[in-house]
């Protein structure tokens, strides 16, 4: 295989964008304006650790400011580079547009292996990185709002929020400068699980459309479907956990950094996660078969493959050997543009990243709204809703007494109906609605227009049309 044929991550995103705009009718020049990344800031800063100064390199890229603030996670990984950050920022633009989150696209990254540092060291590094970005309005509640990504989580977001607050002590909206914070620091219920939960909702919606299932050569329900997942981190863990414990799917393969686990009877996701936490990897897990060459398990026969670790894992080198009917891109960019062609020609259906992992930014949007409104979701309505439901229940109880043995309320009805929605329920409901609506919009374009070969092209078309409309409103 010629390695030159494999485009970089950013080139892959560009190629996928171009495939979509080639079947659209955009005004001359607008295509290029939308495609390019507006700016990328590179910062190198020093932190004194263990008696010597360490120099770190970080990036914050802004792809499109057609809406502000711009939004996108901050990633901590050794492989972080400008090309990657720009690709991820572009994906954020399309993702936000597709799920109607009112943001432009951005992304950040720090070239670091977080596992090599103690918590107090990571805090100093994160605060210093945040300081550099805040100084340039690359973290700001109304201009640029980061979130977690690979290698970062609630802890880092809490440090970033606190750093911003220290620099702008009178900003009443300081909390809203970053999302994915812990609840005590202004976060929202359901944010940690959001991306994995979104993957579950996306699959549930896909399975509501028998015609789409048929394109993938599948039928029936999620129950019993064999799933291979790569990466048991935030996204992969939650997706695999919910799909196995709530939808009855079987997790038949888990691919991690140090190898993979396989078991056709289904693997206990929670148990593997606990094992990883104590042993640092999947090796040695006693209740499934260990495969040292983890990447080979991506090629295991299954119904659904969920790459949820990193980009560029399905390439021209292995695409031909993938034996899944359906791939849902929980990670960003796991399939290169070349591999995308190979898989489509093989009849594999791909639920694309810009849609599949949009659960994170959707719930980040809810968190940002919560921060700006300074009130927990549901705080005003919950008891009022319960009181109104109580009125109905009282009437039903009267009827129950009146009708005697002829009719009675279902035993758990009263308890379930009386309970007003709390924040978590509202967040899940908003996320479910978002994932359903966006999928329906994509499939309308997929099946309803000519020259739209797959869901990825359809997703890009929906997103780019919305971005283009914003630019038109701005006079471009």
Positions annotated as catalytic residues are: 107
Q: Can you tell me whether residue 290 is helix, strand or coil?
A: strand
Of residues 339 through 358, those in contact with ligand NAD by CB under 6 A are: 357
Binding residues for ligand NAD, total number by CB under 6 A: 24
Instruction: Please list, in sequence order, all residues whose beta carbon lies within 8 angstroms of the beta carbon of residue 443, skipping any fewer than 6 positions away.
Output: 209, 212, 455, 458
| 85 is an interface residue for ligand NAD by CB under 6 A | no
Instruction: Please list, in sequence order, all residues whose beta carbon lies within 8 angstroms of the beta carbon of residue 145, skipping any fewer than 6 positions away.
Output: 69, 70, 71, 103, 139, 176, 177, 178, 179, 364, 368
CB of 177 to ligand NAD, least distance (A): 17
Sort 398 into a burial class: Cβ within 10 Å, 0-12 / 13-18 / 19+: exposed
CB of 73 to ligand NAD, least distance (A): 6
| 254 is an interface residue for ligand NAD by CB under 6 A | no
| 230 is an interface residue for ligand NAD by CB under 6 A | yes
| 111 is an interface residue for ligand NAD by CB under 6 A | no
CB of 191 to ligand NAD, least distance (A): 8
| 229 is an interface residue for ligand NAD by CB under 6 A | no
Region binding ligand NAD by CB under 6 A among candidate stretches 137-145, 157-165, 225-233, 319-327:
225-233
Region binding ligand NAD by CB under 6 A among candidate stretches 167-175, 249-257, 343-351, 377-385:
249-257
Question: Which pair of structure tokens corresponds to residue 185?
Answer: 């620091």
CB of 235 to ligand NAD, least distance (A): 4
Residue 237: name the closest of 264, 263, 202, 275 by CA.
275
Residue 262 near residue 299 (C-beta atoms within 8 A)? no
| Cα separation, 153 vs 73, whole angstroms | 10
**What size, in residues, is the chain?**
476
Residue 331 near residue 309 (C-beta atoms within 8 A)? yes
| Cα separation, 458 vs 442, whole angstroms | 5
Matching residue, tokens 């770190």: 56
| Cα separation, 185 vs 181, whole angstroms | 6
- Kindly tell me which of 152 and 218 has the beta carbon lying closer to ligand NAD: 152
| 148 is an interface residue for ligand NAD by CB under 6 A | yes
Residue 137 near residue 104 (C-beta atoms within 8 A)? no
- Kindly tell me which of 101 and 308 has the beta carbon lying closer to ligand NAD: 308
Region binding ligand NAD by CB under 6 A among candidate stretches 230-238, 317-325, 381-389, 448-456:
230-238
Of residues 316 through 335, those in contact with ligand NAD by CB under 6 A are: 330-332
| 232 is an interface residue for ligand NAD by CB under 6 A | yes
Question: Which residue's C-beta sits nearest to ligand NAD?
Answer: 233
Residue 148: name the closest of 105, 192, 213, 97 by CA.
192
Pick one of 99, 122, 255, 445: the residue that binds ligand NAD (CB under 6 A).
255
Q: Residue numbers of the site for ligand NAD (CB under 6 A)?
A: 148-151, 195, 230-236, 255-257, 294, 308-310, 330-332, 357, 360
């Amino acid at each position: 295989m010629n390695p030159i044929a494999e485009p970089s991550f950013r080139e892959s995103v560009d190629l996928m964008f171009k495939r979509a705009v080639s079947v659209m009718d955009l005004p001359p020049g607008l295509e290029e304006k939308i495609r390019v990344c507006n700016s990328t800031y590179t910062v190198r800063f020093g932190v004194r650790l263990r008696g010597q100064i360490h120099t770190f390199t970080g990036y914050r890229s802004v792809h499109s400011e057609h809406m502000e603030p711009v939004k996108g996670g901050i990633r901590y990984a050794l492989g972080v580079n400008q090309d990657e950050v720009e690709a991820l920022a572009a994906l954020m633009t399309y993702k936000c547009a597709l799920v109607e989150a009112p943001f432009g696209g951005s992304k950040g990254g720090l070239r670091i292996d977080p596992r090599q540092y103690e918590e107090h060291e990571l805090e100093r590094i994160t605060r210093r990185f945040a300081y550099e970005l805040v100084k340039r309005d690359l973290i700001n509640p109304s201009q640029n709002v980061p979130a977690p990504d690979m290698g970062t989580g609630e802890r880092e977001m809490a440090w970033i929020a606190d750093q911003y607050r220290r620099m702008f002590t009178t900003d009443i909206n300081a909390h809203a400068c970053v999302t994915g914070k812990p609840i005590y620091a202004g976060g929202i219920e359901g944010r940690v699980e959001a991306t994995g939960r979104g993957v579950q909702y996306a699959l549930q919606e896909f399975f509501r459309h028998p015609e789409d299932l048929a394109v993938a050569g599948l039928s029936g329900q999620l129950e019993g479907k064999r799933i291979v997942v790569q990466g048991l981190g935030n996204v992969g863990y939650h997706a695999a956990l919910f799909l196995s414990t709530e939808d009855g799917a079987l997790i038949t393969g888990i691919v991690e950094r140090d190898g993979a686990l396989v078991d056709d009877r289904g693997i206990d996701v929670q148990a593997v996660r606990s094992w990883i936490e104590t042993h640092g990897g999947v090796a040695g897990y006693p209740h499934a078969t260990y495969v040292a060459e983890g990447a080979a398990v991506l090629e295991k026969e299954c119904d659904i493959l969920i790459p949820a670790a990193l980009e560029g894992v399905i390439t021209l080198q292995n695409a031909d050997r993938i034996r899944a009917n359906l791939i849902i891109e929980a990670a960003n960019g796991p399939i290169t543009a070349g591999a995308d062609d190979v898989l489509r020609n093989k009849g594999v259906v791909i639920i694309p990243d810009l849609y599949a992992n949009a659960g994170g930014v959707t719930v980040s949007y809810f968190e940002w709204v919560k921060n700006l409104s300074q009130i927990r979701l549901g705080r005003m309505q919950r008891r009022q809703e319960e009181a109104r439901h109580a009125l109905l229940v009282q009437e039903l109880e009267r009827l129950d007494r009146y009708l005697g043995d002829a009719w009675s309320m279902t035993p758990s009805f009263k308890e379930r109906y009386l309970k007003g929605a709390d924040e978590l329920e509202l967040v899940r409901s908003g996320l479910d609605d978002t994932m359903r609506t966006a999928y329906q919009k994509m499939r309308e374009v997929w099946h309803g227009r000519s020259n739209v070969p797959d869901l990825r092209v359809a997703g890009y078309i929906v997103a780019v049309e919305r971005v283009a409309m914003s630019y038109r409103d701005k006079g471009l």
